[in-house]
Amino acid sequence: MQRLLGFILVLVQGMGIPLVAGLFICAVTGELRQQRLTLEWPQLPDSNTPSVELLLLSLPCILAYVGLAGLLHKPLWRAASFVLLAGLAAYFNSAVFAQAFGNTWTQSEIFFGLMLQHLHLLAMALLPGLLLWWLVGALGTAVGRRLAQV
pLDDT at position 114: 83
The share of the chain scoring above pLDDT 70, in percent, equals 99
Report the helix count and the strand count for the chain, using DSSP H and E: 6, 0
Residue 45 has pLDDT above 90, yes or no: no
Mean pLDDT value across the chain? 89
**138 vs 45, residue with greater confidence:** 138
**40 vs 135, residue with greater confidence:** 135
**HSE-CB of 73 using CA atoms within 13 angstroms:** 0
pLDDT at position 41: 84
Query: Of 41, 48, 33, 24, whose CA–CA distance to 102 is shortest?
Result: 33
Residue 131 has pLDDT above 90, yes or no: yes
Give dist(CA 38, CA 27) in Å, integer: 6
pLDDT at position 87: 95
Residue 51 has pLDDT above 90, yes or no: no
Domain ranges of the chain: 2-149
pLDDT at position 64: 96
Angle formed at CA 42 by CA 37 and CA 45, multiple of 5 degrees? 160
The share of the chain scoring above pLDDT 90, in percent, equals 49
Neighbours of 30 (CB within 10 A): 18
Residue 68 has pLDDT above 90, yes or no: yes
Torsion angle (degrees, nearest 10) of CA 63, 66, 72, 74: 130
Write out the DSSP string of 91-129. HHHHHHHGGGGTS---HHHIIIIIIITTHHHHHHHHHHH
User: What is the value of pTM for the model shown?
Assistant: 0.90
Residue 71 has pLDDT above 90, yes or no: yes
Helix or strand run (H / E) with residue 19: helix 16-33
Residue 1 has pLDDT above 80, yes or no: no
Cβ proximity of 24 and 93 under 8 Å = yes
User: pLDDT, tens digit, for every residue of 78-115?
Assistant: 999 999 999 999 999 988 888 877 667 788 888 888 88
